[in-house]
Chains A and B, each alone.
Chain A
Amino acid sequence: EDQVTQSPEALRLQEGESSSLNCSYTVSGLRGLFWYRQDPGKGPEFLFTLYSAGEEKEKERLKATLTKKESFLHITAPKPEDSATYLCAVQADNDMRFGAGTRLTVKP
């Protein structure tokens, strides 16, 4: 069965303290892996799409990487405004599966 697991569930960082969020997956026929950011009371905001192992995408302080089994969202020198829930989703042959998310808090 297709599964997407994100870890940790919650992460608290000091401003400037770099870290990584993990998304591990088991799906049949990966067509794409997506990262979203969700702020409280809002819908998820699209960040990145990764299609194949070895691919990397960057946007400001965020960098997403992909292997055959997992993806990492690296956050470099985070700021308080990076606080949000980060969702990973995988498009398989038949459906799109979302992870439960990692709730990131960056303290000043």
Chain B
Amino acid sequence: GAGVSQSPSNKVTEKGKDVELRCDPISGHTALYWYRQSLGQGLEFLIYFQGNSAPDKSGLPSDRFSAERTGGSVSTLTIQRTQQEDSAVYLCASRRGGSSYEQYFGPGTRLTVT
């Protein structure tokens, strides 16, 4: 079956440019998460969407980061005025919701800011 997909798989951008990263969750999953993983580091929580509820944005590192989830499915993470420290792998995960807490991850987008 189809898993979580992310695009692009790799993105190289110049410092100061805006980027958009896309996530397609597993069909029927109501919850969606974005994480950031720097080289050799653990997962850093960014933002969480659950159904129609207001998203939990507590992990966003600055106001340059924002995310949307349209129609309860596809999500876009936008980073404005990128900085070199934004270089990392951005991972998206979805879960079924309710009392099911297992998260299923996409392959990630590797962002390099030059």
**A contact set with B: CB distance below 8 Å:** 31-32, 34, 36, 41-46, 49, 87, 89, 91, 95-96, 98-101
- Most B CB contacts (10 A, CB to CB) among A41, A43, A95, A98 go to A43
Neighbour of B103 across the interface among A41, A42, A46, CB < 8 A: A46
Contact B101 A42 (CB under 8 A): no
Sample 9 A-B pairs with CB under 8 A, ordered by A number. Answer: A44-B43, A44-B91, A44-B105, A46-B102, A46-B104, A87-B42, A87-B43, A96-B45, A100-B42
Given contacts A100-B41, A101-B42, contact A32 B101 (CB under 8 A): yes
Interface of A is mostly: strand
Partner of A98, one of B43, B101, B107: B43
Q: What is the total of A-B residue contacts with beta carbons within 8 Å?
A: 45
* Cβ–Cβ < 8 Å partners of B45 in chain A: 95-96
B105 touching A43 by the CB < 8 A rule? yes
Tell me which residues from 54 to 105 in chain B have a Cβ below 8 Å from any Cβ of chain A: 91, 93, 101-105
A89: chain B residues within 8 A (beta carbon): 43, 103
Residues from chain A with Cβ under 8 Å of B110 in the complex? 41
**Of listed B4, B91, B103, residue having the most chain A CB within 10 A:** B103
